[in-house]
Amino acid sequence: DAVREDGLLEESADIQHPAGALRLRQTFSKRKLSDRVLLPRTLRLPSLSSDVTYVLCAVQNHLGTTPHGGHYVAEVMDWTTGVWWECNDESVTRMPDGPSASYDPDGDGGEDGGAGVRGSSDAYNLFYVERGYLARQVRASLEGDAASLYGGVLADIDSRRDERYEAERE
């Protein structure tokens, strides 16, 4: 029942943040780290003009004990509905609460920074999208869906009108 769609991203955005605002750990060794990391559903990066908020839209997980073997599973959010899906090799499953290792800094994680969440030792890549860009894309998608639906209804009405006209002429 799974549907596969290939697509091409036509727009991109560069994340610009002040030096030191985002810290990554690099070891230059070929071993899988087992540290647990919390996955905030939103990131706020202050800039010179205003705070910019990024929304977690996908998590790529590596399941396995070594970097040389294992399995990748993706957790992705449908931008238009906010529903999360787990994509495995043979199945796509709805995730009612989103990624289990994630938390909302303004909600369930609160001031304690997600202390109630265990975190993930399998998260390999996190994908965040700037909230304003995401809102524009969702709006454009919904407007496009409405326009195509509306256009289809109009085409159907035009077709029926033409059929009646032809029938009346005969």
Taking residues 80-105, report their average pLDDT: 86
Q: Is residue 4 part of a domain?
A: no
Q: Is residue 12 part of a domain?
A: no
Give the pLDDT confidence score for residue 110 in this predicted structure.
Answer: 44
Q: How many domains does the chain have?
A: 1
Give the pLDDT confidence score for residue 52 in this predicted structure.
Answer: 84
CA pseudo-torsion sign 68, 71, 77, 79: positive
Q: Is residue 80 part of a domain?
A: yes
Q: Among the ranges 135-139, 143-147, 157-161, which has the highest mean pLDDT value?
A: 135-139
Residue type, 2: A
What is the pTM (predicted TM-score) of this model? Answer: 0.62
pLDDT band, residue 8 (cuts 50/70/90): low
Taking residues 37-62, report their average pLDDT: 83
Residue 118, classed as helix, strand or coil, is coil
Domain of residue 104: give its range: 39-132
Of the two residues 158 and 85, the one the predictor is more confident about is 85
Token duo for residue 4: 């596969």
- Tell me if 124 sits within 8 A of 62, measured CB to CB: yes
Q: Among the ranges 50-59, 135-144, 149-158, which has the highest mean pLDDT value?
A: 50-59
What gap in Å lies between CA 56 and CA 35, rounded to an integer? 20
In the predicted structure, residue 18 carries a pLDDT above the cut 60:
no
Token duo for residue 28: 């230059």
What gap in Å lies between CA 128 and CA 58, rounded to an integer? 7
Q: What angle do CA 166, 169, 170 make, to 5 degrees?
A: 90
Q: Is residue 98 part of a domain?
A: yes
In the predicted structure, residue 94 carries a pLDDT above the cut 90:
yes
Of the two residues 114 and 90, the one the predictor is more confident about is 90
pLDDT band, residue 87 (cuts 50/70/90): very high
Give the pLDDT confidence score for residue 77 in this predicted structure.
Answer: 92
Taking residues 26-55, report their average pLDDT: 77
Owner of token pair 């043979």: 90
Give the pLDDT confidence score for residue 32 in this predicted structure.
Answer: 74
Q: Is residue 170 part of a domain?
A: no
Could you tell me which residues come within 8 angstroms of residue 123 by beta carbon, excluding any fewer than 6 positions away? 37, 39, 59, 60, 61, 101
